[in-house]
């Protein structure tokens, strides 16, 4: 698994509630795994107090944890992109959403790994895919 080089980012991950810690790190691992398979270089930084991921040709997104009303993992996307609307159309029965901004994952449920990989790849390749129907989903 990729080491968290930025001490500020590492601190944020360490401060997440224990019940969310392993899963949010698993999502982080999926980001770098997907980027590697697509030969993309992802930068990790802190934006608005949350780990943020970006690469050339992609749409940046962040990881977060919300504790109310229940412990929830969040993937937060640019609200003016078509990402969340597309995810809702494709995965509306499997995922929960917050407007056009976020995918919400209850911390007490199993991660939908295959779906998350798709969402991550769509974000990392967004500018190549944004003109395709359903962002090029098969």
CATH code, 94: 3.90.1150.200
Domain assignment present for 31: yes
Domain assignment present for 2: no
Q: Which domain holds residue 121?
A: 7-136
Count of domains forming the chain: 1
| Distinct helix (H) and strand (E) counts, the chain | 5, 6
Per DSSP, the three-state class of 26 is: helix
pLDDT tops 90 at residue 78: yes
What is the b/e burial string over 7-33, where b = at least 16 CB atoms within 10 angstroms of the residue's CB?
A: eebeebbeebeeebeebbeebbebbbe
Provide the pLDDT confidence category of residue 4 given band limits of 50, 70 and 90. confident
pTM of the model: 0.93
Domain assignment present for 72: yes
């Amino acid at each position: 698994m990729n080491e968290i080089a930025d001490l500020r980012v590492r601190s944020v991950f360490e401060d997440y509630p224990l019940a969310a810690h392993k899963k949010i790190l698993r999502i982080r691992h999926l980001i770098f795994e997907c980027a590697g398979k697509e030969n993309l270089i992802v930068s990790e930084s802190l934006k608005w107090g949350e780990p943020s991921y970006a690469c050339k040709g992609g749409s940046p997104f962040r990881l977060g944890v919300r504790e109310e009303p229940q412990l929830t993992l969040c993937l937060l996307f640019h609200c003016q992109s078509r990402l969340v609307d597309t995810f809702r159309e494709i995965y509306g029965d499997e995922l929960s959403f917050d407007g056009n901004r976020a995918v919400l994952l209850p911390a007490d449920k199993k991660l939908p790994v295959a779906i998350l990989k798709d969402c991550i790849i769509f974000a990392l390749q967004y500018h190549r895919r944004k003109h395709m129907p359903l962002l090029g989903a098969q």
